[in-house]
Chain A
Amino acid sequence: MLALLSSCTSTEVITANSTPPVQLKTVLTDAERLDIVVTPFDPNLTALADANNGEIPVSAEVRRAESRYLAFHLKDTLEQTGNWGIVRVVPAAAAHHALIVTGKILESDGEKLQVQVNARDASGKLWIDKIYEDTASKYGYQSLKEDPFQDLYNNIANDLISRYQAYPQVHIRDLRQITQIAFAADLAPTAFDGYLQTDPRGNVSILKLPAANDAILTRVERIRRQDDLLVDTLDDYYFKFYRDVKPSYDEWRYATYDEAVRLRQMKKQARNRLFTGAALIAGGIYAGSQSETWAADAASAGAVVGGITAVKSGLDRLKQTEIHEQALQELTQSLSREVTPNVLDIEGTTIELKGSAEQQYGQWRSLLEQLYQEDRGPQTSSADSL
């Protein structure tokens, strides 16, 4: 998107700005706001071999960094709209998250970004499942007031809010209850057995609600606050990663933008010229074989020569593309070296935090089970309410 601003000096200042994301005018209450978790995007490493046979070289390390970078940037975009509750990046989604956004990187370099985004809520409803693509403009790199692919993130945000508005508030309320019960059921499965039902298609519905003063639920809510604290902490580490990687990653995108554009152009020209040249040669040879006059012979010879020239030009172009390919590879390798420590750091931290949390949750499950058994005593069914 280009915005043209003209001043009294008749100087044209062309700035590149994204399509702004929609911000709801109505003020949402806390109960109406939906919390979102975004997981690191799938770096799509299995497709790297094919990707590296294509135009732009791809690095596994860069993709791993991008998987977290893109996720955090999407989280930040969603948060900035103010349309949602708490938006966090987490290593993995769970059944008690109200709305889960996942993504997969299909293509990513300085010029193009293509991701497949999927959003599903706690009841199993699919909000979006779509491929988003954006191409950066050179103006976007000349004045980096925003991410060169901010359009892509804004489009995702707009699609999500559109889906939100399409659902009745009762569904949003149900989601909050489902997440509460799902979390409780994970920690105290015996106590909350039969409260939720999942059909074969994965849709979750509420069968019954726990009592407001349910003793086990009260304790579960205490634990949930700890889970929220853990999520906040993990998000802070992702923010640190984002901040540390950003300068190098932006520089890489800026540097590879021109190379990527030229490389694509050159390959296209090379293909065209080779094709044209081959066609001319073939046509000239055929015409020569059919000609009966000197002029016709000369014309066909000219076509052949023209064709050979075109082929030669196409081959020269291919050679030049190698230079750009090499430049891109070097740039990508340089970025890989810079971001790998950050990637290892965030991977190690999230594994450690998650691991210790899982251990603790195991103990809590046991304690809650004991409490539940003590509470119900010799009764065969727990006291619960519909």
Chain B
Amino acid sequence: MPDPSDSSSSEGPLIDSVTMQTGSQESNANAGDQAQSPSETNDRAATGDGSETTPSIGQPDDSSSEEASGQTMAGPSPTALEEALLNAGASLQVAGEALKAAGALSDDTDAQTNGDMQGSVADKVQDLDAALNDASIAILLVEQAMIEAEARGDSAGEDVGQAARLLVLANEALQNATAALGENPAAMPGEILVLGGANQDEDDRIAAIDAKLDASIAIFESDVQAARDAVAETLSGPAAVAAAGPSLADLDEGLGQGGMLSEQEAAGSDDTEENLEDPTISGNAPSATNQQPGAGAIPDDIPSPQGDDIVAKQLREAATFEQDPELRAKLWEEYKRYKEGL
């Protein structure tokens, strides 16, 4: 992970350094209190110990740089993900430099009166916008790489996951600092301000808000998916077997095995025997509770269970709990084919 620039400036509330740390960190929240919601959510996942952290804005943190330089990727390191992280870090560093340069010119009183220098300010603003866009794109690539790594079942390591989350926070911090440079006292908290006045194009403002929205959605999705993975891990672990007792042993066969009636059969048929012996849908979610999961983890190429309908869900659970490896492979294959058709 590249060291961020930690040179400081005494001119205005600039981001002096973007620190990337692993583990718990405490920092002060500054402008853009809207960023606190996703950052808090993100930090809960990042720190894993419930401690609340918020991005560091305008607060040089020299002590972190040594830690940042010394941190290594724990565990197996997926190359694509590492590369994406490195690129994102570099992009953020460039954005930080551009922000510093733009801020320095913006605060220069001469620049506000000198026409030539106003042009330089505008150029710097454009460079900053480009750098922020590049950083946003790089972070989206990191998220994509993480999703792909998880889908492959690669163990990205806790450090990598936390580093990725910190990158998103850093991107937010950069955007908030950009907004703070506008120095508009009438601005509502969290509102994206116009740097350099009314020169910023409306599309750019919308793009900036969209980037913020995208980043927060990505973080939220990551956190919720993590919660879902946690409960899925619990469900696929050693299942709670039904309590002792011969009558309760039949619970292994699950509920709702009484069978289903079609509309016409329900209207007039007395042939309940046949219906009871031929359930339309066999098995259900709770029936899996008393089964042991099949050996081996979920294959790497299995898509996410998000949005599964009842058929997909049953296929997935049947495959998870199937003991026969050959049959299990066929069930996973069927699940994948069904998901592709959805």
**Does B327 make an interface contact (CB < 8 A)?**
no
Cα(A72)–Cα(B192), bound, Å:
44
- Alpha-carbon separation in the docked complex, A246 to B285 (Å): 13
Check A144–B248 contact: CB distance below 8 A: yes
Cross-chain contact B310 with A364 (CB below 8 angstroms): no
Bound CA–CA A145/B1 (angstroms): 57
Question: Whole-angstrom distance from the CB of B198 to the nearest CB of chain A?
Answer: 13
B306 touches A146 (CB 8 A): no
State the CA gap A124–B296 with chains docked (Å): 48
Contacting residue for B228 out of A147, A236, A377, CB 8 A: A236
**Are A243 and B235 closer than 8 Å at their CB atoms?**
yes
Partner of A229, one of B209, B253, B306: B306
Convert B232-270 into 0s and 1s, putting 1 for each residue whose CB lies closer than 8 angstroms to a CB of A: 101100011111010110110101111111111010000
Check B224 against A81 for contact (C-beta < 8 Å). Answer: no
Of the listed stretches A42-50, A105-113, A365-373, chain B binds A365-373
Across the interface, A356 reaches (CB within 8 A) one of B41, B263, B284, B307, namely B41
B216 interface residue per 8 A CB criterion: yes
Q: Is B217 an interface residue (CB 8 A)?
A: yes
> CB distance A144 to B209 under 8 Å?
no
A240 within 8 A of B: yes
Closest chain A residue, CB of each to CB of B39 = A363
Q: A345 to chain B: closest CB distance in Å?
A: 11
State the Cβ distance, B336 to closest chain A Cβ, in Å: 19
- Which among B115-123, B128-136, B274-282 touches the partner chain? B274-282
Measured between beta carbons, the chain B residues less than 8 angstroms from A237 are 231
Q: A-facing mask of B63-89, CB < 8 A → 1, else 0?
A: 000000000000000000000000000
Is B44 part of the contact surface with A, judged by Cβ < 8 Å? yes
Q: Which of A79, A141, A362, A375 contacts B284 (CB 8 A)?
A: A79
- B202 proximal to A (CB < 8 A): yes
Does A116 sit within 8 A of B, measured CB to CB?
Answer: no
Q: Within 8 Å of chain A (Cβ to Cβ): is B309?
A: yes
Which residues of A191-233 have CB atoms within 8 Å of chain B's CB atoms? 219, 222-223, 226, 228-230, 232-233
CB-contacts of A1-29 with B (<8 A): 1, 3, 5, 17-18, 20-25
Of the candidates B191, B260, B284, B306, the one having the most CB atoms from chain A within 10 angstroms of its own CB is B260
Q: Cα distance A3–B275 when bound, in Å? A: 11
| A18 lies within 8 A of B258 (CB) | yes
Residues of B within 8 A of A79 (CB): 284-285, 310
Which of A53-61, A175-183, A248-256, A265-273 makes up part of the contact surface? A248-256
Chain A residues with Cβ below 8 Å from B263 are 22-25
Closest A residue to B307 by CB, please name it: A228
Check: A359 CB closer than 8 A to any chain B CB.
yes
Complex Cα distance, B304 from A236, in Å, reads 14
Taking a contact as CB atoms under 8 Å apart, the answer to whether B243 and A251 are in contact is yes
Residues of B within 8 Å of A333, CB to CB, are none
Q: Are B248 and A23 in contact (CB under 8 A)?
A: no
Counting CB contacts under 8 A, is B333 at the interface? Answer: no
The answer to whether B243 touches A360 (Cβ under 8 A) is no
Question: Does B235 contact A239, Cβ atoms closer than 8 Å?
Answer: yes
Given known contacts A79-B284, A356-B223, A364-B216, A248 and B243 CB-to-CB distance under 8 angstroms: yes
Residues of chain B with a CB closer than 8 A to A254's CB:
245, 247-248
Given A22-B261, A25-B262, A3 contacting B273 (CB threshold 8 A) = yes
| Of listed B205, B217, B221, B225, residue having the most chain A CB within 10 A | B217
Minimum CB–CB distance from A235 to chain B (whole Å) comes to: 9
- Known contacts A20-B276, A25-B262, A229-B228, A244 near B240 by CB under 8 Å: yes
B34 CB, nearest partner CB in chain A, Å: 5
Q: Which residues in A have their C-beta under 8 angstroms from that of B192?
A: 370
Chain A contact residue count (CB 8 A cutoff): 69
Contact at A375–B286, with CB atoms within 8 Å? no
A142 B37 Cβ-Cβ under 8 A: no
The residue of chain A having its C-beta at the shortest distance from the C-beta of B213 within the complex is A367
Give the complex CA separation of A308 and B160 in angstroms.
84
Asked if B217 and A222 make an inter-chain contact with CB atoms under 8 angstroms apart, the answer reads: yes
Residues of A within 8 A of B295 (CB): none
B262 touches A229 (CB 8 A): no
Most buried by B among A72, A223, A228, A246: A246
Contact A375 B206 (CB under 8 A): yes
A143 at the interface (CB under 8 A from B): yes
Min CB distance, B131 to chain A, in Å?
A: 22
- Determine whether B210 belongs to the interface, using a CB cutoff of 8 Å to chain A: yes
A22 and B192 CA atoms in complex are apart in Å by 55
Q: Does B171 contact A (CB under 8 A)?
A: no
- Residues of A close to B35: CB separation below 8 A: 363
A168 on the B face (CB < 8 A): no
16 residue pairs A–B, Cβ–Cβ below 8 Å? A17-B258, A22-B262, A22-B263, A146-B256, A150-B255, A219-B213, A226-B220, A229-B228, A236-B235, A250-B251, A251-B248, A254-B245, A353-B227, A360-B41, A371-B210, A371-B213
Interface residues of A (CB under 8 A from B): 1, 3, 5, 17-18, 20-25, 72-73, 76-77, 79-82, 85-87, 141-147, 150, 158, 219, 222-223, 226, 228-230, 232-233, 236-237, 239-240, 242-244, 246-248, 250-251, 254, 353, 356-357, 359-360, 362-364, 366-368, 370-371, 374-375, 377
Known: A79-B284, A79-B285, A144-B251. 14 other contacts (CB 8 A): A20-B258, A25-B263, A77-B256, A80-B284, A80-B310, A145-B257, A233-B224, A240-B234, A247-B243, A250-B251, A356-B41, A357-B224, A367-B34, A367-B216
B residues near A (Cβ < 8 Å) are 34-35, 37-38, 40-41, 44, 190-192, 202, 205-206, 209-210, 212-213, 216-217, 220-221, 223-225, 227-228, 231-232, 234-235, 239-243, 245, 247-248, 250-251, 253, 255-264, 266, 272-273, 275-276, 280-281, 284-286, 289, 305-307, 309-310
The 8 nearest A-B residue pairs measured at CB: A243-B289, A363-B37, A233-B228, A23-B260, A247-B243, A17-B258, A144-B250, A25-B262
